[in-house]
Amino acid sequence: MRIRALLAATVLAGTAGVIAATTSPAQAAAGCRVDYTVSSSWPGGFGASVAVTNLGDSLTGWRLSWTFTAGQTVTQLWNGSVSQSGGQVTVTNASYNATIPAGGSAAFGFNGATTGSNPAPAAFTLNGVACTGAPATPTPTGSSATPTPTGSSATPTPTASSATPTPTPSTSAPAGLPCDLYAAGGTPCVAAHSTTRALSAGYAGALYQVRRSSDNTTRDIGVVSRGGAANAATQDSFCAGTSCVITVIYDQSGRGNNLGYQGPGGIGGADTAAGATRESVAVGGNKVYSLYINPGNSYWRNGSATGIPTGSAPEGIYMVTSGTHVNGGCCFDYGNSETTRRADGAGAMDAIYFGTSCWFGGCSGSGPWIQADLEYGLYPGGSSSWNPNQRAFTSKFVTAMLKNNGTSRFALKGSNAQSGSLTTLWDGALPRGYSPMRKQGAIILGSGGDCCIDNTNQSIGTFYEGAMVAGYPSDATESAVQANIVAAGYR
């Protein structure tokens, strides 16, 4: 279920007066729009994602409020903090998503409990200003800072006789994208990266940044619509007549875990940025570009202070890659890695590996395989011995998944990203010497952990999308993510 709070500004002014949030410790909002999505429900509970778009000037510090009318309660929330008194709910920004630029969005998700029906909130306020889907009406000179009733009611609560229209369903963005699904399952995304599409229904920001060689200027590449595919036309126009590289892959989780290339002009190191136009594909009929990794390309971020699990904390990871652009070089990884960019011992990494490397020998076939890079080895299963349940994934688009509870158990899954369900390759004990895990909380993409300060990546691979989540995702959640990937229509 999904609604958009798009109450007409003229009607709102006639029923609730004008509100100037002069008593709020945060800045007043000049206008806002809220997308409220119930992405999953079960007996007695539900999961929801909320995106708030700032329609005024840049805002630093925000507080979103609404009222539940059927006894719903928020039981768990991420990407913010929550307080609730009766039906009144207020969510305050986290430190890493406090600023919403003009036209930008902030998103959070929560799990809730219900005792019966679960109607969506009828209205929202941002820093005390009603979110109408349009800039707020200026406060008349000399008016009160508190709401001034001008009609029969000062509260815009939809009733059978109220003049305030009921919010209508919105179809501008799909519900149930990967990070929505993970959040609904209680394992929220703490990093989400893609050059092809938004990974949550409310995301409307930049996906990645390109730099052109003609003048070394950069341009952010966003989405064609909220929750939609990448806007390749922006890149094509910007890079016309010259060449471009991908310098940054932005984090869509709201935690700021943006990936920069490991080289001069990036985060530092011996590698270079990947070419921005090496491969174009289609998602849902829209032209998009992949992150096409060749030897000497890699990306990294120290996320240990911005939500990436460390030590023995549980986590899950998925990525969509390709079975047609692979090799045995070390190591095409996506996931948790060392903050030192050095091999720091068994359990310092927890990343998906995809390629043809047969690290311990004895492999069956030639791959490519989905394995776990746990540092000091690429594991096909629970030991260095070959896992007979392993299989090669040679399709153009491949879904790869890894989850690790950090103390005793991990699982590997894979599938064709265009059709079918997930195949479980391993679900069992961690290898000897890896319990507990000793994750450091950096993020690697395209190389192994022992790279690339003064050495270069040797692997090749393709990255379309992926995310890291806090907690141990359920099988049902992972199956829902796979179904969404198939529905995305990679071609």
User: Which residues belong to the active site?
Assistant: 375, 450
* 48 burial type by CB count under 10 A (0-12 exposed, 13-18 middle, 19+ buried): buried
**What is the spatial distance between Cα 355 and Cα 358, in angstroms, rounded to a whole number?**
9
Closest CA to 195 of 290, 298, 283, 334: 290
φ/ψ (deg, to 5) at 180: -65, -40
Residue identified by tokens 């005390």 is: 128
Output the CA angle 189-414-46, nearest 5 degrees.
40
* 282 burial type by CB count under 10 A (0-12 exposed, 13-18 middle, 19+ buried): middle
Any residues with CB less than 8 A from the CB of 133 and at least 6 apart, and which?
A: 4, 5, 6, 7, 9, 33, 55
**What is the spatial distance between Cα 349 and Cα 339, in angstroms, rounded to a whole number?**
10
- Please tell me whether the peptide bond between 358 and the residue prior to it is cis, using omega within 30 degrees of 0: no
Q: What's the distance, Cα to Cα, between the start and end of the chain in Å?
A: 28
* Beta strand segments in 173-324, E: 189-194, 208-212, 218-221, 244-249, 259-261, 274-275, 280-283, 286-289, 291-293, 299-302, 315-321
Residue 279 vs residues 214, 257, 294, 313, 323: alpha-carbon distances, Å: 21, 25, 12, 36, 14
Output the CA angle 248-346-311, nearest 5 degrees.
65
Could you say which DSSP state residue 135 is in? B
Q: List, edge to edge, every strand of the sheet that includes 88-92.
A: 81-85, 88-92, 63-67, 124-126, 129-130
**What is the spatial distance between Cα 238 and Cα 219, in angstroms, rounded to a whole number?**
7
Beta carbons of 101 and 107 less than 8 angstroms apart? no
* Exposure letters 230-241 (e unless 16+ CB within 10 A, then b): bbbebbeebbee
Q: Are strands 73-78 and 81-85 parallel, antiparallel or unpaired?
A: unpaired
Amino acid at 369: W
**Helix H or strand E segment including 95:** none
**What is the spatial distance between Cα 61 and Cα 54, in angstroms, rounded to a whole number?**
12
